[in-house]
Amino acid sequence: MITKQFVTTLFQGAYIQRWNDKLRPTEISEIDKHAHKLVIAYLIGRHHEQHAPVLWKAVIEGSVFEYLAKIVLTDIKAPVLSAIRNDRAQYKTLLSFVCGELEPTLEAVDKTLPHRFSSYFQQEDDTLEKRILSAASTMASAWEFDIIERTDPHGYEMAQIRSELSVRLASYRDIAGAQAVLESDRIQRFINIVGQLRFQTRWAHVHRIPKTSVLMHCYFVAVVSYFFSLQLNACDRRTYNNTFAGLFHDLAEVLTRDIIAPVKRATEGLRDLIVEYEKEQMEKIVYPLLPEFLHPEIRRFTTVEAQNAVLLEGVAKEVAVETIDQRYNENRYDPLDGEVVKAADELAAYIESTEAIRNGCISEKFQEAKTLIKEKYQEKTIGRIDLGALYSQ
């Protein structure tokens, strides 16, 4: 069962700043990097599936494990971490420390999770799924470095970092999906658009510590949706759908920014107008950057709106989560729990409010949001997910 300690730990990446020894024009957080990385891993994996299957649970869980490890290790520079990995005794000691720090939190979620976590880092790095994540990580880091390099092009280590990133990117070209992503100008433009969500701040109308971007919020929702799916004993396709619906659910905000709920409610029909505008702009700007085989899936992920649905003979049918559990929890029905994604979305807002209050931000908006969300879920269950128990912790 997901615990408050686990989701609070997930949020800690918002405090960790990357490239903090370099001149940066903007803050670059650890959770933003991992969000961007999972988007890129999705693109690599989906392109690679045109040639060979991808184990998506391994990609998703690997992303989470690598992120959690970074929370413990903070921003250790890549060359230092690489040197430690090459020393087996030192790496084993470091891994033992990381596992020890996270074990109580992981075990409270699932007793098998600490073992899965430690096993992941003890495995060889040559599996397809690990290499997809590694390629995506390098691409996300290169995207960040492009910004930093323009700010201080002749700074210390700049030429060396650029050279090392180029070598690492070239080493992934044997992965068909990575090659496709690297060579496509349109896909690169899509990655840039997603990257803009790093700069869009949630709760922009109030002072808050830490500030969170739309992209880091999406990653939080994706990870929570993944673990909610495991609680539901969801089939692989359902788990995949819920996770990536969480990751992409606010993608359209790159076109409209994060419009707060009170503004959407202020004028009758304004919400519908915004939704229609988002759909129109997605069709005009975003979908042309993606190959057509991804359009139906991204369209589904970005318009989920708390609807639980299965596909029956190619037609979407709205059903309850409990009905999916009983009748449609199979890959062939392509199930998606919009209600689960929405619950993860609002849990993210609850944690953001809680952290802001804990850090001394006194706006009544945070207490109001925290109270309303808790009241909504304090007696609610979704299938096997006891949200009331989570909010009572």
Give the CATH number of the domain where residue 179 resides: 1.10.3210.10
CA distances from 213 to 97, 173, 176, 251, 344 (A): 30, 31, 31, 12, 16
Are 65 and 188 contained in the same domain?
A: yes
Are 365 and 335 contained in the same domain?
A: yes
Are 169 and 50 contained in the same domain?
A: yes
Range of the domain at 84: 1-199
Q: Structure pTM?
A: 0.94
DSSP string, 55-93: -HHHHHHHHHHHHHHHHHH-S--HHHHHHHHHSHHHHHH
Are 108 and 162 contained in the same domain?
A: yes
Are 261 and 369 contained in the same domain?
A: yes
Tell me if 19 is assigned to some domain: yes
Residue 72 structure tokens? 């413990």
Are 194 and 245 contained in the same domain?
A: no
Other beta carbons within 10 angstroms of residue 28's beta carbon come to 21
- In the chain, count of helices (H) and strands (E)? 20, 5
Structural domain count of the chain:
2
Per-residue pLDDT of the chain (393 residues; tens, 9 = 90+): 899 999 999 999 999 999 999 999 999 999 999 999 999 999 999 999 999 999 999 999 999 999 999 999 886 777 787 788 888 888 888 889 999 999 999 999 999 999 999 999 988 888 999 999 999 999 999 999 999 999 999 999 999 999 999 999 999 999 999 999 999 999 999 999 999 999 998 887 788 888 899 999 999 999 999 999 999 999 999 999 999 999 999 998 887 765 555 555 555 566 677 778 888 888 999 999 999 999 999 999 998 777 899 999 888 899 999 999 999 999 999 999 999 999 999 999 999 999 988 999 888 888 888 999 999 999 999 999 999 999 998
